[in-house]
Amino acid sequence: MISIDVIQSTAEQLMDKAAIEIPEDYHNGLRSAAKVETGSLSGYVIKAMLDNYDAAKEDRCAMCGDTGTPRWYVKMGNETTIEGGPIALEAALRRATANSTHRVPLRPNRVHPLWRTDHNNNVGIGAPEIEYGYEPGGEWIDLITVHKGGLFGTDYRMLFPSDGIEGIKRFYLDTLVAFGKRGLACQPAIIGIGLGGCKDTCMVLGKRAACLRVVGSKNPDPKIAELEAEFKELGNSIGMGAMGFVGKSMVIDCHIEVGYCHTGGMQMSMHAFCLSSRRAVARIYADGRVEYRTDPDWFTDYQRRETVEWPLSTHATLSEAPGG
Amino acid sequence: MKIREVQLSTTPDEQAIADLKLGDIVYLTGLLYTAREGVYTRALENQANLPLDLPTESAANFHCSPAATIREDGSFDMGAVTATASFRFAKWLPQWMQKTGAKLIIGKGGMSSEAYKEYFVPNGAVYLSTVGYGTGALLGRGIEKVEAVYWHEELGLAQAMWVIRCNKMGPFIVASDLDGNCLFERENKKIAKNLDKVYEGTRPAVLKRFGETDDREDELIG
Ligand code: SF4
């Protein structure tokens, strides 16, 4: 049984970490971009961003004043039980979100879409989002918070098999260029692409590809991994950089995730995880141990499974290998 | 190209504004206030009285909602500040400038060169963009004091009018000048030349959408 108090205190720590500390993988990605960026204005911007991460850490203040829309991804091993059950879990996550909004402080971004009511704590109808995943083995819970920013950089399009890779590339470039102008997407970003599924799952896949995979990770399908590399190149050859100034850094990494779709369609979604690529992760065990990490490790073989059945034994080691 | 850094007051005189060049980096000192859709609606459409004496106290309008809270004792805790995209406020800005004499509009992404020519230049105003745009922590270091917050009860903390005393707050980048030139459009023109080549080997979607453009020089905002 996982203690509900440990869940709440860990969730509060995660909220702080996500808002303040840029994850190492994105930080390294941006440092590499700084080395190759030749545009003088866009190079200046990247340098300012790197200084900004240091300032945020030193001053223990949010890296970006727009602290995004905090949300939770929760994953559990098959044997996990939670003190108080799922209702207590959701209450703890909502409490942690509200408390951290005051403590860090975060910007109370969440308002009612029509009445613009603001509870000043980032909690409201459907906020924060809480999404779930399960793994075959173990008694543990992974709490992942993502504070994705950006009103810009995300788009969906219903493509069809006859659009082919050329059509996918077109929509990819269209979205990068449209939202890259004036730097609305706060690039260079981690670009997540969802292909297939249904319209809603296509959006979910793309968002998770952007937010729940670390820079440098590859899709296990070698042909998709090739596309990821090609798309990263392509995005960085547009001639545009940070803030939409002339440059060559648009894409820190490109991640593609797929889901089976209707035989007549080829749904595509694009998501840009911005210069403040905020995520933080912890695994809590039944004995109260808490391990923090920055890799959500969401897309396991189990999450990407294609078969009807899944042999439980192949995943028995997962609970012993956090982040693996 | 060497990047020039300029120190600027939030109540700048005409000469100081005329001296600014596209791409200059600016650090601001003095009083600035945040105002976005909530404040504009309340002040312009609902005719509420302005809580500050503008532009005497400040001629710098920041399109921003800070990450901030009001403590129980009434004092403020403000960490990071970051701009929000300005083009969405175009419908209020001409009237706002007239009413408040704002000379520095600070935000994200700039406005169109038409907007600059139509109402920035006649009002002697220029646009400063934040850098990045996520340099909230750096900008936070430039906050000397949060002087006041107005209309938070009516509008919520994110839309309220925050009044901030800043000391060398920056970096900001000069994105328009008194000739109405636009830094982003200048950059977009240079980038557009390369786009046809990048798009080679792609194909427009078989199913079109209404209201869409394939003119890649289009600024898309406004
Ligand atoms: S898109 Fe990201 S970096 Fe840009 S303002 Fe929003 S949260 Fe900050």
Count of domains for chain B: 2
Of B222, B7, B20, the closest CA to residue B124 belongs to B20
For the record, the structure tokens of A215 come out as 């820079």
Residue A292 predicted with pLDDT over 80:
yes
Residue A318 predicted with pLDDT over 60:
no
The alpha-carbon gap from A250 to the nearest alpha carbon of chain B, in Å, equals 13
Rounded Cα distance between B169 and A308, Å, is 58
Distances (CA, A) of A276 to A89, A177, A185, A217, B108: 27, 20, 11, 19, 15
Of A83, A92, A206, the closest CA to residue A143 belongs to A92
Least confident of A252-256, A292-296, A301-305, B216-220: B216-220
Same domain, B171 and B151: yes
**Which residue in this structure is represented by tokens 């648009």?**
A250
Distance of CA B59 from the midpoint of ligand 1 (Å): 26
Same domain, B81 and B152: yes
Same domain, B19 and B85: yes
Same domain, B95 and B165: yes
CATH code (residue B43) = 3.20.130.10
Q: Which residues pair with B169 in a beta bridge?
A: B28
- CB within 8 Å: B3 and A41: yes
What pLDDT, on a 0 to 100 scale, did the predictor assign at position B1?
Answer: 66
Same domain, B144 and B166: yes
The alpha-carbon gap from A18 to the nearest alpha carbon of chain B, in Å, equals 14
Q: Is the C-beta atom of A186 inside 6 A of ligand 1?
A: yes
- CB within 8 Å: B67 and A104: yes
Rounded Cα distance between A145 and A148, Å, is 9
Q: Is the C-beta atom of B100 inside 6 A of ligand 1?
A: no
Q: Pick out chain B residues at pLDDT < 70.
A: 1
What pLDDT, on a 0 to 100 scale, did the predictor assign at position A236?
Answer: 98
DSSP B40-60: HIIIIIS-PPPSS-TTTS--E
Q: Which of B3, B67, B82 lies at the smallest CB-CB distance from A40?
A: B3
Rounded Cα distance between B24 and B72, Å, is 41
DSSP letter (8 states) at residue A87? H
Instruction: Write the burial class of residue B129 (CB in 10 Å: 0-12 exposed, 13-18 middle, 19+ buried).
Output: buried
What pLDDT, on a 0 to 100 scale, did the predictor assign at position A324?
Answer: 38
DSSP letter (8 states) at residue A150? -
**Which residue in this structure is represented by tokens 């994110």?**
B158
Q: Is the C-beta atom of A191 inside 6 A of ligand 1?
A: no
The atom number, within ligand 1, closest to the CA of A63 reads 8
State the angle between helix axes of A164-180 and B183-199 in degrees (0 to 180), rounded to the nearest 10: 170
Instruction: List CB contacts (< 8 A) between B81 and chain A.
Output: 65
Same domain, B19 and B33: yes
Of B160, B168, B164, the closest CA to residue B146 belongs to B164
What pLDDT, on a 0 to 100 scale, did the predictor assign at position A322?
Answer: 44
Same domain, B171 and B193: no
Least confident of A104-108, A260-264, B1-5, B90-94: B1-5
Same domain, B14 and B53: yes
Rounded Cα distance between A106 and B66, Å, is 8
Q: Do A42 and A239 touch, CB atoms closer than 8 A?
A: no
The alpha-carbon gap from A232 to the nearest alpha carbon of chain B, in Å, equals 13
State the angle between helix axes of A24-36 and A40-59 in degrees (0 to 180), rounded to the nearest 10: 150
Same domain, B152 and B88: yes
| pLDDT digit string, tens, across residues A218-259 | 999 999 999 999 999 999 999 999 999 999 999 999 999 999
Rounded Cα distance between B7 and B168, Å, is 7
Residue range of the domain that includes B80: 5-181
What pLDDT, on a 0 to 100 scale, did the predictor assign at position B17?
Answer: 98
Same domain, B148 and B208: no
Q: How confident is the model at residue A83 (pLDDT cuts 50, 70, 90)?
A: very high
Percent helix, strand, coil in chain B, to 5, is 25, 25, 45
What pLDDT, on a 0 to 100 scale, did the predictor assign at position A313?
Answer: 61
At A259 the three-state DSSP class reads strand
* A86-92 own/partner pairs: CB under 8 Å, 24+ apart: A88/A4, A89/A4, A89/A7, A90/A130, A92/A4, A92/A7, A92/A8, A92/A11
Handedness of CA A204, A211, A300, A128 (dihedral sign): negative
At A198 the three-state DSSP class reads coil
What pLDDT, on a 0 to 100 scale, did the predictor assign at position B175?
Answer: 97
C-alpha distance across the termini of chain B, in Å: 31
Instruction: List CB contacts (< 8 A) between A105 and chain B.
Output: 67-69, 77-79
- CB within 8 Å: B157 and A118: yes
Better pLDDT: A66 or A292: A292
Global confidence as pTM? 0.91
Rounded Cα distance between A296 and A255, Å, is 14
Same domain, B41 and B90: yes
Residue A137 predicted with pLDDT over 90:
no
| pLDDT digit string, tens, across residues B150-163 | 999 999 988 999 99
For the record, the structure tokens of A183 come out as 């730097």
Q: Which residues contact B140 (CB under 8 A, 6 or more apart)?
A: A55, A59, A61, A65, B78, B79, B80, B81
Complex ipTM: 0.88
For the record, the structure tokens of A90 come out as 């959701």
Same domain, B11 and B41: yes
